[in-house]
Every structure is written in structure tokens, then in C-alpha cells.
Structure 1
């Protein structure tokens, strides 16, 4: 999936306070692709991603 290799996600990982990083974090709140990506992950991986990015 594109979310796994997203350049904006990489920018967030490098510097969460950057403009692109903040945009990416805002964007994942409603992005259908991100939601599909999370559903495709195993429960363990989904929990790791949720913890890393502060998701519910």
C-alpha cells in the first residue's frame, strides 16, 4: 500500500512539527486509504502504529 511508503509519513517521522508532517497527521484522521491500510495490518502491527502516531 502507498501508506507504508508515503513521503509525507516519512516527513512526519523525521520531524513531526514540520509543515508536511503536521499535514500528514491531520490528513490521516479522515483518509480512506489510511483506514484501509490499518485494516490490512495484523492486530499487533496495528497496535504499534496506533501507539506510534497516537491513534485511538
Structure 2
């Protein structure tokens, strides 16, 4: 699998700009099962993971 492009994802940008937009809500739903997002999160150090968990209200595993 290619490197995840989550850091620069256009849908993630839509969420960051307007979480209630259709595309923003779609992105938030999508990351719940996206293998790319999971690989991206695994590639981060623990501090950055925690920052994203708080920012996007993600469950801690």
C-alpha cells in the first residue's frame, strides 16, 4: 500500500474548515474504517496521535 496522504487530505481540510459540511461529515465518518487513516495514525509519535485524538474526538485504543 502507498503511503497515506492523510496529512494533506482535501476532505480532512474540508472538515477542519467546516466540520458540519457534508464533505466534512463524510470525512469524519470515513476515518472510522479507513485503512489509510489507521496506517497514518500508527506512523505518528504518541504526542501527535494524542493531539489528533483530542482534535477529532477519537476514541483512545
CA distance in structure 2 between the partners assigned to 1:49 and 1:21 by the alignment = 15
Relative contact order, higher structure (CA 8 A, sep 6+): 2
Alpha-carbon RMSD? 0.5
Higher helix share: 1
Q: TM-score, normalised by structure 1?
A: 0.98
Between Structure 1 and Structure 2, whose CA radius of gyration is higher?
2
Which residue of 19, 22, 28 corresponds with 2:22?
19
Structure 1 residue ranges, 4+ long, deviating more than 6 angstroms after superposition: none
Q: Give structure 2 stretches of 5+ with no counterpart.
A: none
